[in-house]
Chain A
Amino acid sequence: MSRPSTMARAGKGVAVALLLVFTLFPAYWMLVSAFDGKAGRGSSFVPAEPTVEHFEFVLTDGGFDVFLRNSLLVALATVLVSSLLALLASVAVARFRFRLRTQVLMLVLVVQMVPLEALVIPLFVQVRNLDLLGTLTGLVVVYVALALPFGIWMLRGFVAAVPVELEEAAYLDGATWGRMFRSILLPLVAPGLVATSIFGFITAWNEFVFAMTLLGGETQNYTVAIGLRSFFGQHSNDWGAIMAASTIITVPVMIFFILVQRRLASGLTAGAVKG
């Protein structure tokens, strides 16, 4: 192929620059406002008065320390329960062939498409009947259900990628199924388990509709996603604080996302290679 002309190279450079600006501007603006003491009073594209006072305010008087603790608790509980259930189920669908197997997989696929708006009304009633409204437990129960289908779907790829020959070798050496599971399968799908956990974590961390509906007025139990709303005033909003809090919410997710991204891609295609 011929070498690209200078014009084409310059065009490409401009395209890359514009793309980077468009892609990164919201995150950049969030950071600028979070670190700017004058956020909301005259806008400049770099912090006019660099300060961390918004963060200090958010984490102390803003009550975000409590919201962060709640979100962490909820997310960790969700991850533990949903990953365990997803692992067991994914082994079943990836390693066994049984009647209704395809139907089970279809079910897992289809329930992912159900809009949360359809679930929020009956689950609100259900959680209310269980007397769990306003509690973190009620939230965890719902989040486990939300994280589970995707977890099964993803782990299934990782489990299928473990060569069956390894399992058979273990059986030939006299291992029971349980032993094989612990010593062969579990270590080999550990990376997949990490990826699934991170996704479960992000699901619980970002979720907004259920947190808003199920927690109601229990401010002390708010998670970060709805805690943000406390900085919106009747007449004016404390944008510096909102952006500082948004930064606190966003940064862990971004780090996790970049960490898990490669794993994820390899997990989803791993089964394909084996064919």
Chain B
Amino acid sequence: MTSTLSVAAPAGPGQSPGPGGRRPFGKSLLARVRPWMLLTPALLVLAVLLLWPLVRVALFSLQDYGLREIVSGEPNWIGLGNYVEIFTSEQLWAVVLPNTVAFAVLSVAFTVMFGTAVAVLLASLGRVWRTVVSSAIMAAWAMPAVTGTYVWVWIFDADRGVFNHVLQSLGLQDAPVNWFTDRWSFYAIVLLNVVHHGFPFVAITVLAGLLGVPKELLEAAEIDGAGAWRRFFSVVVPQLKQIFAVVIILSTIWDFKVFAQVYLMPGGAGSNREVLNLGVWSYTESFGQNRYGFGSAIAVLLTLLLLGITVAYVRTILKEEEL
């Protein structure tokens, strides 16, 4: 569902005349409750299925919540025990946090740089080629995460993967290598997968921005003697600051919570402890070990992390426009 909300419409409810009154003839009671009648079903669903679970996950995180508690429904409070265990665990500092944060930083950097480069390329193409290339990009974007991940796993498969096959026939390696056991090569593949799936959004969004930069500005800069690089970084980038902010923050949110792309890789579902990230750790502790309380605490930490980024996102949007 991800993708395109970002460029979000600064839709203008400001169109309606005057504060409040849609109709010039005063406001009946019906008119006043109507928005709430329209909103109630959606808000109910959001409250029961998104907000209440969020409260509950926080409550679970303060309990030793296992299978027995699920069945009996009896609470089993242990205070901040789960959090203490997380923060004192070797696993968090040596594996999970580096995997999560370093991966997010790298993949955001690569996605945004590559996406921007592609956008610049697209902007310089003629009509026909731009359509061809952007359709190809759309196809990469549309690939579901699940099937996309399986295709990458297949490409890098140890025994019969095409990657090993090509390396061997080029004489670069003697025997097939299992790329999924090593933490670095494992995440290199995840990175490739995530960048491949994520750059189209950046490219298309930045392209929209690029096409909106006034030609006069660029021509003026050229007359003043600015080279192509200078023009890009001193004229175009400042113009697109807003777009870049949105693209970077959204990519950050998505890349912090990569789940399927890791979980579906060989060893990614918990059997290889070296490659856990926050999301997968939370999931495997909960549903693998039946330690739902501990898993909830990890999930709460991940949520808080994302919340911080979301606040930044909302601020950036709000600065420019009224919701």
- Report A-chain residues with C-beta under 8 Å of the C-beta of B146: 206, 208, 225, 228, 249
A228 to B264, CA, bound (A): 11
Binary interface profile of A, 137-158, with partner B (CB < 8 Å = 1, else 0)?
0000110111111101110110
Q: Shortest beta-carbon distance, B129 to chain A, in Å?
A: 6
What separation, in Å, do the CA atoms of A77 and B48 have in the docked complex?
19
A258-B257 contact in complex given A126-B53, A228-B150, C-beta closer than 8 Å: no
Shortest beta-carbon distance from A128 to chain B in Å: 7
Partner of B38, one of A15, A88, A208, A239: A88
In the complex with contacts A43-B165, A246-B151, A153-B138 CB distance below 8 A? no
A270 interface residue, CB < 8 Å from B?
A: yes
Main secondary structure of the interface of A (DSSP, over half): helix
- Expressed in whole angstroms, the Cα–Cα distance for A213 and B118 within the complex equals 38
Measured between beta carbons, the chain A residues less than 8 angstroms from B4 are 154, 264-265, 268
Nearest residue (CB) in B for A213 is B287
Residues of A within 8 A of B12 (CB): 160, 271-272, 274-275
0 or 1 for each of B280-295: is its CB under 8 Å from A? (1 = yes): 0011001100001001
- CB of B49 within 8 A of CB of A141, answer yes
Contacting pair B222 A29 (CB below 8 A): no
Asked if B64 is an interface residue, CB under 8 A from chain A, the answer is no
- What per-residue 1/0 map shows which CB atoms of B155-168 lie under 8 Å from chain A? 10101111001000
Q: Choose among B16, B46, B145, B299 the residue that contacts A117 (Cβ–Cβ < 8 A).
A: B299
Contact of B35 among A96, A142, A269, A272 (CB under 8 A): A96
* A188 within 8 A of partner (CB): no
Are A96 and B57 in contact (CB-based, < 8 A)?
Answer: no
Residue in B36, B51, B129, B145 whose CB lies within 8 Å of A16: B129
Interface contact A23-B10, CB-CB below 8 Å: no
A interface bracket (residues with beta carbon within 8 Å of B): 35 or more
- Shortest distance in angstroms between A9's beta carbon and chain B's nearest beta carbon? 10
11 A-B pairs with CB atoms under 8 Å apart are: A12-B124, A20-B136, A40-B160, A95-B22, A109-B310, A113-B309, A117-B257, A117-B282, A126-B53, A228-B146, A228-B147
Q: A88-B41, A148-B45 are in contact. List 11 more A-B contacts (CB 8 A).
A: A26-B140, A29-B162, A43-B162, A98-B36, A108-B46, A116-B257, A117-B282, A118-B302, A203-B1, A243-B154, A258-B135
Q: B residues touching A (Cβ–Cβ < 8 Å)?
A: 1, 4-5, 7-16, 19-20, 22-23, 30, 32, 34-36, 38-39, 41-43, 45-46, 48-54, 56-57, 60, 70, 73, 118, 121, 124-125, 129, 132-133, 135-148, 150-152, 154-155, 157, 159-162, 165, 196, 208, 219, 222, 253, 256-257, 259-260, 264, 278-279, 282-283, 286-287, 292, 295-296, 299-300, 302-303, 306-307, 309-310, 313-314, 323
A residues in contact (CB < 8 Å) with B: 1, 12, 15-16, 19-20, 22-24, 26-27, 29-30, 33, 40-41, 43, 85-86, 88-89, 91-98, 101-102, 104-126, 128-129, 141-142, 144-150, 152-154, 156-157, 159-161, 163-164, 167-168, 171, 177, 199, 202-203, 205-206, 208-209, 213, 225, 228, 236-237, 239, 242-243, 246, 249-250, 253-254, 256-258, 261, 264-265, 267-272, 274-275
